[in-house]
Structure 1
Amino acid sequence: MNPEQLDIYDVTIVGGGPAGMYAAFYSGLRAMRTKLIEAKMELGGFMRTYPEKLIWDVGGIEPVRCEKLIESLERQARTFDPTLIFGQEIADMERREDNILVLTSRTGELHYTRTVLLCAGRGMTHIQKLDIQGASRYELTNLHYTITDYSRFRDKHVLISGGGNAAVDWANELADVARQVTVVHRRHEFGGHEQPVEQMRAVCKVMTPYSLTRLYGAGERIEHVELVHTGTGEALQADVDEVVVSHGYDRDFGNLTSWELHGGDYGVTVDAQMRTSEPGVFGAGDFITYDSKVRLIAGAFNDAVLAVNSAKKYLDPGAAKMAGVSSHNPRFLEKNKKINQRSKS
């Protein structure tokens, strides 16, 4: 089939997390015909796992619930009307003789594009569940792997097992809601950022190094748990109302890491311009690694800008290195008029 007969995009973004959504906006700003493909049926990526979490570290935005940030990012992503494809997991990529890249989904759909931007984030994540006999019976009652509604923990004793950022953040936010929050972690050191860890130690009961080893319940609810000191083996029991397990996620990138792209233990490696080892293929967000990588939502935005700029230069070496600033970018002229008219009415 001739290229003229194909529906070819300038850039196809694989993944609809924060990096993918911002890349969809910024590539539209650069007048690139854009397609975004998301394996799930909604945008947001890994951010969907903690909708109630307060996000503090996005520049210029006051603390906001994650679900609200997702909504804002999605509206921004749709600014220049990119094509959005949901429910397709990309499994293969081939390069035609005419240099057009062909992406194939697991269900056989073909997508034609001049460049690819990989924003797969943490891939298809799977919660690391509690490896304790009988734990699954409590999953519909008071054993939780994520938190979507803080109100259900009001005035209760909540035990949180875990030591990463999510466990620390949940502990701090539940401290204002629950009667008591106890955090158990198998090591003395926590993986979260320093300030939230200090706050947690001040407002929660912290037990380290302890592991959650047994659950005791009546019917389908946990009533108390067994905790074991990982150094001495000493066991103790504690009454609880709710148990939250935050032991991380298993990552599944499908076939993306088998595309002969240079990579390490996590995703693919890019250079300072977000270029992978394959010409025309770029990356942004948590899926990529480079020396100064910042694994924050704010870092994903910067990655997306650099990747889109590189894709634009790949397609048109004479193009500007970056888009004009929004205050005088012609792409916003009509949109600014409409906004100004609404504000005056």
Structure 2
Amino acid sequence: MEVFDVTIIGGGPAGLYSAFYSGLRNMKTKIIEVQPVLGGKVNTYPEKVIWDVGGLPPLQGRQFVQNLVEQASIFSPTICLNTKVEQIQKQDNFFVISTDCGEVHYSKTIICAVGGGILHPLKLEIEDSEKYEKTNLHYTILDMQRFRHKTVLISGGGNSAIDWAVELLSVTKDVIVIYRKEQLTAHEAQVEKLKEHGVQIMLHAEIKSFLSNDSDMIEQVIISQNEDIYAIPVDEVLISHGYQREASLTFADNIQPLRKNDYYLVSQGRCMTSVPGIFGAGDIISYDDKVGLIVGTFQDAVLAVNNAKLYIDPDANEYAMVSSHNDKFIEKNNELLKKVYSKT
């Protein structure tokens, strides 16, 4: 039986940084992720540019995920993908973690970093719409260049939909936004950008059906607006109606308290839950003055790991040594400096 010092449930930014920081603390680490890839929610917007992480230049979501994965891999944690945790039980001095594939994992501590849960885009409830997903009906954007010089219709009026509309302005021929409500609910500054560019915005409007060619490519979208019906020629269609969240915390029923009418873990301070040895990091936990940004996630990860370390070894240092003084990085630092000096 192999017992890990810490098992991190979730492989998004919170889980990945937890894995890196636990490596700094000489902890034997495992990540369990339900999806086939690491990166969490950031994988839903790989083309979007992230600006608000300190010390990093603006970079696309996919590059940000790549950086996080490379950082988390420095100390070679064990990684289990396509694995869903179904139950956690305490046994003697460690936790027994049961998964959907029949595997059992053993760990001295646990960090819950499952973010907002498993995200599934809300699909159109239109007959045969699934077949268009193979051609030009999208629920996210994986490659902006696919939309170059095309007419794109976006259905949705929240932040995600309008952010995509703004991103597409630089590559598309035309962007058309439709929304079933009386006004867009996205950030005002983003909405103003669309208006400044003369983007056609149709309110009180929704998709009723598609007209396609023999290759199942959507050529026209049939829109109802109030009592009027319109046929709009398009090249691509993007649906951004939000996500259905699978709150994959059924295994954590014994962690109390939970916020009323929600499934978030409520931290009891320093990212600790009501179960000794189980900690939380990232979007899954809530506490006073919580910072709902990626940078806040990194602080959560540090606090969770440090407290996991102290749970295992009460005599351990409260914090890890800073990376510039850490022996683990001496060789890596020399390699980086050689590259820098070779360019000068």
Query: What corresponds to 2:195 in structure 1?
Result: 201
How far apart, CA to CA, are the structure 2 residues paired with 1:73 and 1:201?
Answer: 36
Query: What corresponds to 2:143 in structure 1?
Result: 149
1:62-95 deviation digits (Å, cap 9, x = unpaired): 2211111111111100112222222221111000
Q: CA deviation at 1:194?
A: 4.2
Is the contact made by 1:257 and 1:267 (CA closer than 8 Å) also made in structure 2?
no
Query: What corresponds to 2:111 in structure 1?
Result: 117
Query: What corresponds to 1:3 in structure 2?
Result: none
Note closer, same or farther for the CA distance 1:311–1:169 as it changes in structure 2 (3 Å cut).
same
1:236-265 deviation digits (Å, cap 9, x = unpaired): 332222110011221223454553223231
Query: What corresponds to 2:42 in structure 1?
Result: 47
Higher mean C-alpha deviation, range 255-264 or range 36-45: 255-264
Query: What corresponds to 1:278 in structure 2?
Result: 275
How far apart, CA to CA, are the structure 1 residues paired with 2:11 and 2:264?
Answer: 16
Is the contact made by 1:257 and 1:268 (CA closer than 8 Å) also made in structure 2?
no
Query: What corresponds to 2:218 in structure 1?
Result: 222
Note closer, same or farther for the CA distance 1:73–1:65 as it changes in structure 2 (3 Å cut).
same
How far apart, CA to CA, are the structure 2 residues paired with 1:321 and 1:105?
Answer: 32
How far apart, CA to CA, are the structure 2 residues paired with 1:163 and 1:50?
Answer: 17
How far apart, CA to CA, are the structure 1 residues paired with 2:322 and 2:194?
Answer: 40
Higher mean C-alpha deviation, range 312-321 or range 71-80: 312-321
Unaligned runs of 5+ in 2: none
2:238 corresponds to 1:241:
no
Aligned 1:58-137 pairs, distance under 5 A: 58-96=53-91, 98-137=92-131
SS across alignment from 2:134: coil
How far apart, CA to CA, are the structure 2 residues paired with 1:197 and 1:325?
Answer: 43
Query: What corresponds to 1:177 in structure 2?
Result: 171
SS across alignment from 1:178: coil
Q: CA deviation at 1:25?
A: 0.5
How far apart, CA to CA, are the structure 1 residues paired with 2:104 and 2:126?
Answer: 43
How far apart, CA to CA, are the structure 1 residues paired with 2:242 and 2:74?
Answer: 34
Q: CA deviation at 1:234?
A: 4.1
SS across alignment from 1:276: coil
Q: CA deviation at 1:156?
A: 1.4
Note closer, same or farther for the CA distance 1:306–1:146 as it changes in structure 2 (3 Å cut).
same
Query: What corresponds to 2:264 in structure 1?
Result: 267
2:318 corresponds to 1:321:
yes
> Once the two structures are aligned, what percentage of the paired residues are identical?
45
Note closer, same or farther for the CA distance 1:200–1:327 as it changes in structure 2 (3 Å cut).
farther
Query: What corresponds to 1:310 in structure 2?
Result: 307
Query: What corresponds to 2:30 in structure 1?
Result: 35
TM-score, structure 1 normalization: 0.89
SS across alignment from 2:19: helix
How far apart, CA to CA, are the structure 2 residues paired with 1:122 and 1:75?
Answer: 23
How far apart, CA to CA, are the structure 2 residues paired with 1:315 and 1:200?
Answer: 53
Note closer, same or farther for the CA distance 1:195–1:266 as it changes in structure 2 (3 Å cut).
farther
- Aligned partner letter, 2:303: L
SS across alignment from 1:102: strand
SS across alignment from 2:211: strand
SS across alignment from 1:79: helix
1:27-71 deviation digits (Å, cap 9, x = unpaired): 111222211112233211222222222222222222211111111
Note closer, same or farther for the CA distance 1:138–1:56 as it changes in structure 2 (3 Å cut).
same
TM-score, structure 2 normalization: 0.90
Query: What corresponds to 1:20 in structure 2?
Result: 15
How far apart, CA to CA, are the structure 2 residues paired with 1:298 and 1:201?
Answer: 31
Query: What corresponds to 1:163 in structure 2?
Result: 157
- Pairwise CA RMSD: 2.1
How far apart, CA to CA, are the structure 2 residues paired with 1:144 and 1:10?
Answer: 42
1:185-213 deviation digits (Å, cap 9, x = unpaired): 22345444443333233333222242223
How far apart, CA to CA, are the structure 2 residues paired with 1:248 and 1:72?
Answer: 27
Q: CA deviation at 1:104?
A: 1.1
Unaligned runs of 5+ in 1: 1-5
How far apart, CA to CA, are the structure 2 residues paired with 1:241 and 1:92?
Answer: 46
Is the contact made by 2:87 and 2:251 (CA closer than 8 Å) also made in structure 1?
no
Query: What corresponds to 1:211 in structure 2?
Result: 206
Aligned residues: 337
2:303 corresponds to 1:289:
no
- Aligned partner letter, 1:128: L
